[in-house]
Structure 1
Amino acid sequence: MRVGLAIGASVFAMMANPVLAQEVSAAQESLAAEDAPIVVTAQRREQNVQDVPIAISVVSGDALQEQRVRTIDQIGQQVSNTQIYQDKGGSQPNWTIRGVSLFDFNVNNSPSTSIFIDEVYQPSSVMGSGGIFDLERVEVLRGPQSGLYGRNSVGGAVQIISREARPGDNDGYVNLDYGSWHRYRLEAAQSVSLGDNTAVRLAVLNDGSFGGGWQDSVTGGRDWGEPDRLAVRGILRSEVGALTARLKLYYARDKSDTVLATASGAYSPTFDFCDAVLAGNLDQANCLTLAQLIDPTLDGAGAQSDDGTRVLSQPINQLDNEELSATLNLSVDLGAVTITSITGYTDFDFGFDFDYDASQLNLGGWTEQAGLRNFNQELRIASPSSGDFRWQAGILYTNYRFNEFKEFNWTDNPLLFDTFNPIFGLDYQDLFLDVTYRQKTRYWGVYGQFDYDITPDLTFSASLRYSDEKTTYREGRIGFQSITSFPAPGGIDLIPVGAMDRDYSLGDHWTGSATLSYRPTDDSMLYATISRGYKSGGVPGGFPQTTEDTIPYDEEFVLNFEGGFRTEWLDRALQVNGSIFYYDHDDIQAFTTLPSTLTPGQFAFRLTNIGSGYNFGGELEVVARPVWGLRLGASIGYLETKITDSDKVFFSFDNQAIPWKGQRLDYAPTWSGNLFVSYTADVSETSNLTVAGDYNFRSRLRYAQTAVDEALRGVAGYGVANGRITLEDDAGWSVSLWTKNLFDKAYVSDASNDGVGSYYRTFGEPRSVGVAMGFRW
């Protein structure tokens, strides 16, 4: 490490010798602010991040803007042992921290990592795909956090904290970004003081395109991949005596295109898997898609590019989201205690279309519309942050209501027509499989945490939470319907209304943690933690084929044994943090594939508890500032997962029963991490230049059990590099040149099938470049 730092410092010093000879400048002043201690609220009170005995990574709002991080799900690329699984083109991102996740494509299920936006819990993964702008910071906490954060924090917790104004603030900025495929991004904010004790901050975001996209749909004859995102946020803050009040109003809509899938050639002319797939490979030039078997005149998989830029998929993959939310935070400092009330309400309408078969025909088109209504109320009381004994306690209530309509379009599939017509007498136009249901979840919990300084250098901390949760699934309906609305006269119910009514109640109510932390020096801390967290059970929300497909699944638990250290060296010029963990993982929730009763020869996906296992690994993060203006960083994560006890099996795509026992979890790569470098130097008395780059990598994300699954389901690892050059002036102006996926790496983010015979892959974006101009005041 020392040799590497010395070499890097020497190289940059020689390159920048003329400018380093100058006096203290604007660049140095801005870097001094960047190097200040990072304050976080990971434990619901303000602390230096180096004093928090948690494996935590923090990314500032400014850093996210500089790195062109556009949406919440992209934050995971900055953190080791953290992946974002992008199901169906990115409409429902699932956070996977230390291998803990649920790869559920149904909106009614909760993620395994809890996402909090300005202290309000987001109950569905679809709420985690929105645009981010004008943030103070993002805190990613790894490991179970169910003591303070509650349900569904079994993988960890993510806090997204908006920037707000304080009385006296009148700052603001505007930033305009333009890049590849004619994309643009406008972001602006302004703080306004309203007297001596009140201020408001208004912020706006508009992501759009002047036309074009990085993908070309052969079928639709058009480019695809345009963002269409608008968001407005206002935060009013008022300080009157001991009372501090914050009111946030937020509106957003998102009609962005999502990734078009690439069809995978899988078949021989006799409807068997082709020789290449049987050998574990894809041969797009010679193997056939299901669409080709139905209509031999159609172009095959070979007409597509091998990087996802040219596809057969119909250009329909698109979001249709709209959100309106309000949060009221009231805090009273009474000296002996501080009482805080957090009230939040979110009205979120979710919609999207996805060409699941990735072909020219309607073999598996998916349409979904859902309404999510979430009310959250928390009341918290806390002691002062000083003293040998510090504590806090709270009570929380949430009411989450959900209704959904889903439709599968099979109208071009004669194979299914031949199956259903003799039974139901269906016409082709009736091959729409529709699902509707409504769901309600009520949760309440009480929690407490304390920190006791046994000695000035030794602290014992503990948290405990009692949770109660109930979910009802009602009016579930599945059946075939023609183009008219569902349900309607003439529709055919496969399962009678009411036959799938279900109730789920949390069966294990206690979670918490115990931590011992020790400070051998002022610049170092060691900690050891035992924590227990859970992921809620619930009712599967997919396309049920039998009443058994809606049987509730139980909650999933993780018992975490963790040790770590946080250290600073050389007057904070070098920071080294690390952790090691072992999870005892019980009642793991996962999809298991079973032979389909509705579509013979294909598979159904059923969400269930598959058994128990372990997750073992660790993280190491290093940040160094060897010379003024130079910042180097690296993080690496190691992870090993295994199912050790299970009586369940799943079926591979070639119909082989595979025991879950002995398998590793998907999207839990053995190695992951990132590297970054940033160098800032003066180019004049009033301006400075910053050159920066980063590289994010993951090893293999999904392992296959058969050769066929390797060809059609395996997901290899990849690494992506990004870079930027920024010129800033003391007057507030800045100009940046940036590139993402610098080396134009073609990588697969997901590979799967639609359950009725078609196979697909989705790719990440190719290289993009752009320019940004900004002004701050």
Structure 2
Amino acid sequence: MRKIGQNRVSVLALAAAAAVATPALAQDAGTGDAAKNATASQDSGGIADIVVTATRQSTNMQDTPIAITAVTAEALEERGLKSVADLTAVVPNAEFRRTHGAFGPGVSASIRGIGASDTNIGNDPVVAYYVDDIYYPTLLGSNFDLLDIDHVEVLRGPQGTLFGRNSLAGAVNIVSKQPRFDERSGYIQMTVGSYHRTDVRAGFNIPLGENLALMASGVYKKRQGYQRVLDFACEMNRRGTPGLIGDIPPYDLAKTSNPKFSPKDCVIGHLGGEDVQAVRGSLAWEPASNVRLTVTGEYIRDTSENPADTTLSLNPALNTPNENASFAYYNAAYDSRFITGDPYSTYETYNDPIGAGTVIPGHSYYNGMSTHGGHTLDPRGNLTNWGFSAKLVVGLTDTIDLTAIAGYRSLDETHVYQKDGTPLQTEMTTNVVTNDYFTGELRLSGKSDWIDWVVGAFYFDASGFQHAVIDQPRTGLIRYLNNSFDPLSKAVYANATIRPFDNGLSFTGGLRYSDDKKVVSLSNLVETTPNPGDIEFAVTPQAKVVSWKAGVNYEVSSDVLLYASAATGYTLPGFNPRPQQPSQIAQFDGNEDIAYELGAKLDLFDRRLRLNLAGFYTDFNKRPQALGGQEILLDANGNPTSGNSVVIPLPNGPDGSTTCRARTADEIANNVTGYSCIIRNYYINTPATIWGFEAEMTAEPVDGLLINGALGYHKFSSPDIDSRAINPRQAEPFWSANAGIQYLIEGAPLGGTITPRVDWSYQGSTAPSTRTTNWNQPGYSLVNARLTYALPDDGFTIAAGVTNLFDKIHYDNFFILQDFGQSNVQGQPAAPRQWYLQFEKKF
């Protein structure tokens, strides 16, 4: 790992220098005028304001001309939401999902039809994550537990001006609670539930003096997976189909029947469970009324089971000769017998029963080599993610603040994936990733009657390394990936809202100049190195980009804001991270878009009804897309390894690319040998347009009754989709919606309160394949319910809840390997119905 260099030291020195700056009152998030106004409006009745920092200043969300969903810690608790992946249930036009097991423990994020799910280093995310002003650059490890947060802000639409690169679709800004100097408090919360769920959360806040305070918290989460791993031989006997076993050995001899014993079940493990521990501490110091320093540290350990993953389809016609030979070795076939028929079960054991050194005639993998065969992996992640940061806010005058931020974060993660859902091995991957990030930011901000402004400089430096072993009996190879990547980002930015008149009219403008690059060295080596199939190359995706935002706002009254804006976003250029041969080494442009937005924010009926509305049109003008296909397998000299029919170049493809096609009738009749083909992705710019709208509502028609709802719609149009009749649903609009209702009933026993709550969410239909409609998933609804009994004076709460109340079967992800010429299709079923019981005591 690389040590902090001179640039990092310079930023730290700059932050230290700012510590000795002088004068007046700091306007830190949550302590400035916006927070005071929020408190005042809350005390006067009606729906409380939420203070956000989406403009890098503290502002009332209803006065901020951006489409924002801001969810407080209390609202997340009431809805039973605990992690970033749960935000799908509350944000319109957005999907946050645990990534597929092949991509490790991350969260895929999509906002307004623009998303990314692959955690590889060749493509950057399109949604930027910030945790307490610290930039988090990768999807890997991004499923943050929402531990002791104040609120979460999800900003929809490109945010390139204030949040920089990779905010093409939007940004997620997580704001934690801050230590308090005037409060000695603590809490402990315990949750038990389905699948042996045990969650323990605890924290405290302690003033250590008049101007020093410590806040610390921790969480322990453990839950058995909801998907059962079955012993195939045992299950076939249990089903009365022993003829399908062939000679496949049992995984667990204790599950073998005999005349005196029959196993109760064939379960040998589980997938989809959780095992997480995390601690967080924050120390705040105010040596003067105008100076506040906050130092925060965090440590996360995640050894959760791999996500649930089930085989949905197997097409033997796509088997490789090696795959057929592997199963024939056990007098079986690689076919539909390995489809369990239940999304919550699998035959995947992460074990290769064919021992090391085994020779199977005609098999190019089991050829007697001591490294081939007998591998067993533990299907759980191994993530350590820790970091620390410091934030200094100095009030230079009554209206101007200086903020200095520095942070370091380290990630060390290993995940494994077995792709076929059978007790044999066709392909298994071990992926080890280490990342170190340093973030530094310095900004000046000010507020006056006629202008709110912020100017800043941003610095981000990182180093990472990926070591992966791809063990492929299906192709006969073991490949080793050793990739280093060193991103560097420098930017300066300015943003202002100007109010030149006294008629409620204001103007917003922003610019950001970014100088970004990522130095990458990649090697993809065959086990028997040197080998003609070895791939090694270096690339440096880089860009110098000016992002901008312009808008006009009109405050009709103190409760009605109308706005119109245009803003840009971008990602770095990328490259193909998984080339199978030298002809597949390719770079491609980064993404760029411009979004136009009209919006309205309204507090009506004496603040009993809040409506936030937005309509948008996104010109996705640079959109490099990977189109899956196949090409001819070439030797070291660029010639086909087999076959003698005519080589056809790929139309509009890169130099040296070829078309893999079936033999013609004449070629077959003349015994012309066909070519060997391999998977290939081709990157082509396919611009798109997206338009849609969002509506969010919160209502409190009478005291104690709270109703919320949201509706999102977007229509994605691109030649890449519109020209394909194979899967027309890809061109259909996408709908999302959610609603919730709760009522606080006072006068319960012992002076307590009872609050029943019901939440509903809807996700529209999806079409994950570009080649078939077989895996289109219809839209689905989910319902959660919760009943809370509280003794406010005693700080005691007990709640009972259920998620996915009607036990709706749906899939978070699909891995359609048949689109790439492989045999199987995998799906990751989301969790079934689960109940929980939660106890909390506040001190």
Shared fold, TM over 0.5: yes
The aligned counterpart of 2:429 is 366
| Partner SS, residue 318 of structure 1 | coil
After superposition, residues 677-692 of structure 1 pair within 5 angstroms as 677-682=741-746, 683-684=748-749, 686-692=751-757
The answer to whether residue 686 in structure 2 is matched with residue 611 in structure 1 is yes
The aligned counterpart of 1:252 is 300
Give the C-alpha shift of residue 704 in structure 1. 4.6
| Partner SS, residue 285 of structure 2 | strand
Query: Per the alignment, do residues 757 and 34 of structure 1 end up closer, same or farther by CA in structure 2, a change over 3 Å counting?
Result: farther
Query: Per the alignment, do residues 139 and 571 of structure 1 end up closer, same or farther by CA in structure 2, a change over 3 Å counting?
Result: same
Checking the alignment, whether the CA contact within 8 Å between 2:107 and 2:117 is kept in structure 1 is: no
What letter is aligned with 1:365?
A: M
| Partner SS, residue 574 of structure 2 | coil
The aligned counterpart of 1:622 is 697
Larger Rg: 2
Which of residues 304, 309, 314 in structure 2 aligns to 1:261? Answer: 309
Give the C-alpha shift of residue 115 in structure 1. 0.5
The answer to whether residue 93 in structure 2 is matched with residue 81 in structure 1 is yes
Give the C-alpha shift of residue 49 in structure 1. 0.9
Give CA deviations for 1:255-307 in whole Å, capped at 9, x if unaligned.
Answer: 10122311123325x5599xxxxxxxxxxxxxx99986885637964665555
Checking the alignment, whether the CA contact within 8 Å between 1:631 and 1:679 is kept in structure 2 is: yes
After superposition, residues 357-756 of structure 1 pair within 5 angstroms as 357-383=420-446, 385-411=447-473, 413=474, 416-417=475-476, 431-456=477-502, 457-474=504-521, 476-481=522-527, 490-496=528-534, 499-506=536-543, 509-541=545-577, 543-597=578-632, 604=679, 606=681, 608-644=683-719, 670-682=734-746, 683-684=748-749, 686-702=751-767, 704=769, 706=771, 709-711=772-774, 713-729=775-791, 730-754=793-817, 755=820, 756=822
Query: Per the alignment, do residues 636 and 590 of structure 1 end up closer, same or farther by CA in structure 2, a change over 3 Å counting?
Result: same
Give CA deviations for 1:708-730 in whole Å, capped at 9, x if unaligned.
Answer: x222x433322211111010002
After superposition, residues 330-341 of structure 1 pair within 5 angstroms as 330-335=392-397, 336-341=399-404
Checking the alignment, whether the CA contact within 8 Å between 1:260 and 1:313 is kept in structure 2 is: no
| Partner SS, residue 73 of structure 1 | helix
The aligned counterpart of 2:154 is 140
Give the C-alpha shift of residue 546 in structure 1. 2.5
Bigger mean CA offset, 354-363 vs 631-640: 354-363
Give CA deviations for 1:630-677 in whole Å, capped at 9, x if unaligned.
Answer: 111111101100114x6xx9xxxxxxxx96799989799610111111
What letter is aligned with 2:761?
A: N
Give CA deviations for 1:313-338 in whole Å, capped at 9, x if unaligned.
Answer: 22654221101201110111011521
Query: Per the alignment, do residues 518 and 215 of structure 1 end up closer, same or farther by CA in structure 2, a change over 3 Å counting?
Result: farther
What letter is aligned with 2:269?
A: R
CA–CA distance in structure 1, aligned partners of residues 599 and 225 of structure 2: 48
Give the C-alpha shift of residue 106 in structure 1. 1.2
The aligned counterpart of 2:280 is 233
CA–CA distance in structure 2, aligned partners of residues 668 and 38 of structure 1: 35
CA–CA distance in structure 1, aligned partners of residues 745 and 510 of structure 2: 46
TM-score, length basis structure 1: 0.83
Give the C-alpha shift of residue 531 in structure 1. 0.7
Aligned length: 690
Checking the alignment, whether the CA contact within 8 Å between 2:90 and 2:710 is kept in structure 1 is: no
Bigger mean CA offset, 186-195 vs 168-177: 168-177
What letter is aligned with 2:75?
A: A
CA–CA distance in structure 1, aligned partners of residues 159 and 728 of structure 2: 24
Give the C-alpha shift of residue 686 in structure 1. 2.3
The aligned counterpart of 1:215 is 228
Query: Per the alignment, do residues 290 and 747 of structure 1 end up closer, same or farther by CA in structure 2, a change over 3 Å counting?
Result: farther
Query: Per the alignment, do residues 684 and 694 of structure 1 end up closer, same or farther by CA in structure 2, a change over 3 Å counting?
Result: same
The answer to whether residue 124 in structure 2 is matched with residue 110 in structure 1 is yes
The runs of 5 or more residues in structure 2 that have no matched partner are: 1-40, 233-250, 252-267, 351-377, 635-674
| Partner SS, residue 454 of structure 1 | coil
TM-score, length basis structure 2: 0.77
Give the C-alpha shift of residue 751 in structure 1. 1.9
CA–CA distance in structure 2, aligned partners of residues 538 and 236 of structure 1: 40
After superposition, residues 208-357 of structure 1 pair within 5 angstroms as 208-209=222-223, 213-219=226-232, 221-241=268-288, 242-267=290-315, 297=332, 301=336, 306-314=341-349, 316-335=378-397, 336-357=399-420
Query: Per the alignment, do residues 664 and 143 of structure 1 end up closer, same or farther by CA in structure 2, a change over 3 Å counting?
Result: farther
Give the C-alpha shift of residue 610 in structure 1. 2.9
| Partner SS, residue 63 of structure 1 | helix
Give the C-alpha shift of residue 705 in structure 1. 5.1
Give the C-alpha shift of residue 224 in structure 1. 2.9
What letter is aligned with 1:716?
A: P
The answer to whether residue 139 in structure 2 is matched with residue 125 in structure 1 is yes
What letter is aligned with 1:386?
A: S
CA–CA distance in structure 1, aligned partners of residues 145 and 620 of structure 2: 33
| Partner SS, residue 744 of structure 2 | strand
Give the C-alpha shift of residue 355 in structure 1. 1.8
Give the C-alpha shift of residue 362 in structure 1. 1.2
What letter is aligned with 1:535?
A: T
The runs of 5 or more residues in structure 1 that have no matched partner are: 1-28, 274-287, 418-430, 482-489, 650-657
CA–CA distance in structure 1, aligned partners of residues 283 and 730 of structure 2: 43
CA–CA distance in structure 2, aligned partners of residues 467 and 553 of structure 1: 19
Query: Per the alignment, do residues 307 and 77 of structure 1 end up closer, same or farther by CA in structure 2, a change over 3 Å counting?
Result: farther
Checking the alignment, whether the CA contact within 8 Å between 1:317 and 1:353 is kept in structure 2 is: yes
The aligned counterpart of 1:25 is none
Checking the alignment, whether the CA contact within 8 Å between 1:267 and 1:290 is kept in structure 2 is: no
What letter is aligned with 1:101?
A: G
CA–CA distance in structure 2, aligned partners of residues 133 and 300 of structure 1: 45
Checking the alignment, whether the CA contact within 8 Å between 1:722 and 1:742 is kept in structure 2 is: yes
CA–CA distance in structure 1, aligned partners of residues 811 and 349 of structure 2: 19
Checking the alignment, whether the CA contact within 8 Å between 2:562 and 2:599 is kept in structure 1 is: yes
Checking the alignment, whether the CA contact within 8 Å between 2:46 and 2:606 is kept in structure 1 is: no
CA–CA distance in structure 2, aligned partners of residues 345 and 403 of structure 1: 17
Checking the alignment, whether the CA contact within 8 Å between 2:229 and 2:349 is kept in structure 1 is: no
The aligned counterpart of 1:97 is 111
When the two chains are superposed, the root-mean-square deviation of aligned CA atoms in Å is 2.9
CA–CA distance in structure 2, aligned partners of residues 254 and 34 of structure 1: 41
The answer to whether residue 102 in structure 2 is matched with residue 36 in structure 1 is no
Give CA deviations for 1:63-116 in whole Å, capped at 9, x if unaligned.
Answer: 223333232222233111001254323723221000112343415532101000
The answer to whether residue 249 in structure 2 is matched with residue 203 in structure 1 is no
The answer to whether residue 830 in structure 2 is matched with residue 764 in structure 1 is yes
What letter is aligned with 2:412?
A: D
| Partner SS, residue 62 of structure 1 | helix
Query: Per the alignment, do residues 598 and 32 of structure 1 end up closer, same or farther by CA in structure 2, a change over 3 Å counting?
Result: farther
What letter is aligned with 1:259?
A: P
The aligned counterpart of 1:8 is none
What letter is aligned with 2:348?
A: S
Checking the alignment, whether the CA contact within 8 Å between 1:619 and 1:637 is kept in structure 2 is: yes
CA–CA distance in structure 2, aligned partners of residues 34 and 186 of structure 1: 34
What letter is aligned with 1:553?
A: F
